[in-house]
Amino acid sequence: MSKYYPKNGRVIFHVDMNSFYASVEMAFNPELKGKPLAIAGNPEERKGIVVTSSYEARKHGVRTTMPLWEARKHCPDLIVMRPNFDRYRTASKEMFKILSDVTEQIQPVSIDEGYMDITDCEDQGTPLEIADQIQRRIAEELDLPCSIGIAPNKFLAKMASDMKKPMGITVLRKRDIPQKLWPLDIGEMYGVGEKTAEKLKKIDVKTIGDLAAHDVLQLKRVLGINGERLQNRANGVDQRPVDPDAVHEFKSIGKSTTLPEDTTDEREVQQVLRRLSSKVADRMRAKRVLARNVQVMIRYHDRKTITRSTQLPEHIKHAEDLFNISVRLFDQHWNQKPIRLLGVTAQDLAEEKELSQQLDLFSYETYAEKENLYKTIDDLTERYGKNPFQDLTSHNNNDKGNVSTSFQKDFLDDYKK
């Protein structure tokens, strides 16, 4: 048995539920099984958007983020249901309970996926036997399908779990990388988004193998430090541990500035808060994180300092949202005395790539409608070094600070209770 468990290495699982929302609905109502099913917000409206779909629907060309009118063109028999997040959370909790019967070394990263470190589980069988046991239990007890990737690190395990769906178990060893990983298109690599893939293809990096062999200095010129990180991953190097406490991490990104002169001018205050929010958003974008808490610091002329924060129902990432929330906090807590220093801090951060978009009936459409605008602004900001629309945004448009997409991680350790 010991030959399956390296002395100096790790054995990592990535467990990924297949078409989770649709699969949960099918488990709840078996009459839906084998039928094309889509989960969508506002299914009665033509403008509703597909959140996820069953594999039967996908065979007809139905895809996530597709407008319902287009999905129904591809699949006239499509069954459309509203999302039921209480139901999905219950299924998620039961799924993670099954994983916890194998090991305590579990890192949930979203409602339907998580990592496991089974390096010390030699007494329970080979990695393949343990994976088969987990997959069968989830299928038999919850009536849900999942895919499992087995590898020596988190990145390779994640890539492996995507290689066979639904109900796949895939082993990806480092010696398998040239045959299984490197031929894949660069856009299929976990951690490479659409914009990054476009940049890489411009320097003739078309496959993961191209990335693995490319000049690291050019990668860093194009992508910064992330270029070297991605190349390491392409070569199978990933030292990140499976961290059961990661879901509880509270990090922050903040920026403050001392004003040239003490002021009570609200217009000047708003201009400063806008600049600070923009700088914080830039750093959040560079680190690829979202925030669920915003804090404002006010230091008065007499050096008395207060900090006030608000916990948000959903995570945010855009400067517009940070600005609107910080202005609201300032208006609520400023005592009208002269201000010497202001600060804006984004707190309760979570990695963008590691989060599941739990999309409610309204926020998904809002997010999808605004995403093209946000991408355009990001592209122009990257090209010209400044948000060209910044000065056009209303200073008092507080109501539009409502966030657009729900990235909730606060329930991911419920399976321990």
Residues carrying an active site annotation: 113
Q: Are 211 and 231 in contact (CB under 8 A)?
A: yes
User: Binding residue per annotation — 16?
Assistant: yes
Is 101 known to sit in a ligand binding site? no
Residue pair 276/295 in contact by the 8 Å Cβ criterion = no
Residue listed under structure tokens 């459409």 = 365
SS3 track for the chain:
CHHHCCCCCCCEEEEEECCHHHHHHHHHCHHHCCCCEEEECCCCCCCCEEEEECHHHHCCCCCCCCEHHHHHHHCCCCEEECCCHHHHHHHHHHHHHHHHCCCCCEEEEECCEEEEECCCCHHHCCHHHHHHHHHHHHHHHHCCCEEEEEECCHHHHHHHHCCCCCCCEEECCHHHHHHHHCCCEHHHCCCCCHHHHHHHHHCCCCEHHHHHHCCHHHHHHHHCHHHHHHHHHHCCCCCCCCCCCHHHCCCEEEEEEEEEEEECCHHHHHHHHHHHHHHHHHHHHHHCEEEEEEEEEEEECCCCEEEEEEEEEEEECCHHHHHHHHHHHHHHHCCCCCEEEEEEEEEEEEEHHHCCCCCCCCHHHHHHHHHHHHHHHHHHHHHHCCCCCHHHCCCCCHHHHCCCCCCCCCCCCHHHC
Smallest CA-to-CA distance from 112 within 199, 206, 15, 35 is with 15
Q: List the binding residues.
A: 16, 112
Q: Which residues does the annotation place in the binding site for Mg(2+)?
A: 16, 112
